[in-house]
Amino acid sequence: MPDNEKIIEINNLTKDFKDIRAVDNLNLNVFKGDVFGFLGPNGAGKSTTIRMLLSLISPKEGSIKIFGKSLVENRNSILCNVGAIIESPDFYNYLSAYKNLEIVGRISGKEVTKKRVMEMLDLVGLKDRYKSKVKTFSHGMKQRLGIAQALLHNPDLIILDEPTVGLDPQGMKEIRDLINRLSKDEKKTIFLSSHILSEVELVANRMTIINKGKTIVEGKVEELLDAENFNVTFEIDNVDKAKQVLNNTAWQNKIVSQANKKLVFSLSPDEIAELNKYLVENNLLVSAVVPTRSLEEYFLSITRDAD
């Protein structure tokens, strides 16, 4: 399957719950090898979309294709090649990590060898704890065990719904490192839903932002962040003089804040060089220009504009 082939293709997907439209004509595409961030505020329709992707509920309208095949017509064969973890997975707390995975493998109807179980425990960093009862595990360890469970049958597509929910910073880093390993070393395609935007920014190469069940924007993370205005800090030798120079110009309205020898502007990528040139031409010493644009800033601006 070439890298530009679609692993998930959603067209005009709609879902109602009584008189509430949870998903409204949603469209998105996930390509082979993507770590795809699926973002949106609470109530945007993320969990409902994932439940439809896993065929747990049916859409009112629209279509879902996975691996190029209709999910409705090929449900069983498709889902055999999909692994998923939805928030906090359930385990038999008084059984060992190994035993839990062994039971899941048996229930799945597929042959899962001891070697495969141990490989998955090793992959998620739990090999040394394979005999330990799950009740002794931290929340982060349980999340990693859940991912091992989702990987047992070696799926090509992994769907992770809020995998870092409730984790401390160390637990988040462990999940982030695991996602990177799954993408780079195991060559998995990953569909990642999360409200922790800083975490998504560190692992995703493409993303969709949805709001009120609709697609607001979709594309490569780098390109989306470069496409809009973002804050840029200019370190200037004389801030007061700079403000005088900028007075009654269009640049004046782009000043966001001031601190010591720094002026922060809201600029597009093209405007950064223009402003720098203007300041220098007016005999101001610009010692540094530092763009700062986070996924969280972009997310807030794009969802606010959509309201």
Are 152 and 284 contained in the same domain? no
- Indicate the residue among 181, 201, 225 that finishes a domain: 225
Domain that holds residue 273: 230-305
pTM reported for the whole predicted model:
0.76
**Residue with structure tokens 């030798």?**
237
Are 83 and 15 contained in the same domain? yes
Are 13 and 157 contained in the same domain? yes
Distance (Å, whole) CA 101 – CA 146: 9
Are 217 and 272 contained in the same domain? no
Are 143 and 199 contained in the same domain? yes
Number of domains the chain contains? 2
Domain holding 180: CATH number?
Answer: 3.40.50.300
Contact 33, 183 (CB under 8 A): yes
Are 189 and 279 contained in the same domain? no
pLDDT given for residue 306 in this prediction = 57
pLDDT tens digits for the chain (307 residues)? 445 789 999 999 999 998 899 999 999 999 999 999 998 888 889 999 999 999 999 999 999 999 999 999 999 999 999 999 887 788 999 999 999 999 988 877 677 889 999 999 998 999 999 999 999 999 889 989 999 999 999 899 999 998 887 788 888 888 888 899 999 998 999 999 987 777 787 899 998 888 889 888 888 877 766 666 677 888 888 888 999 999 888 898 888 877 778 888 888 777 888 898 899 999 988 887 876 666 666 676 666 655 5
Task: Output the CA angle 156-157-160, nearest 5 degrees.
Answer: 140
Are 54 and 146 contained in the same domain? yes
Specify the pairing of strand 230-236 against strand 69-70. unpaired
Are 163 and 18 contained in the same domain? yes
Domain holding 235: CATH number?
Answer: 3.30.70
Beta bridge partners of 209: 39, 217
The b-or-e profile of 85-116 (16+ CB within 10 A means b, else e) is bbeebebeeeebbbbbbbebbeeeeeebeeeb
- Indicate the residue among 225, 257, 273 that finishes a domain: 225
Are 201 and 261 contained in the same domain? no
In a domain, 185, yes or no: yes
User: To 10 degrees, the CA torsion angle through 96, 101, 103, 106?
Assistant: -160
Contact 279, 234 (CB under 8 A): yes
Distance (Å, whole) CA 190 – CA 184: 11
Are 17 and 161 contained in the same domain? yes
- Indicate the residue among 225, 260, 293 that finishes a domain: 225
Are 49 and 101 contained in the same domain? yes
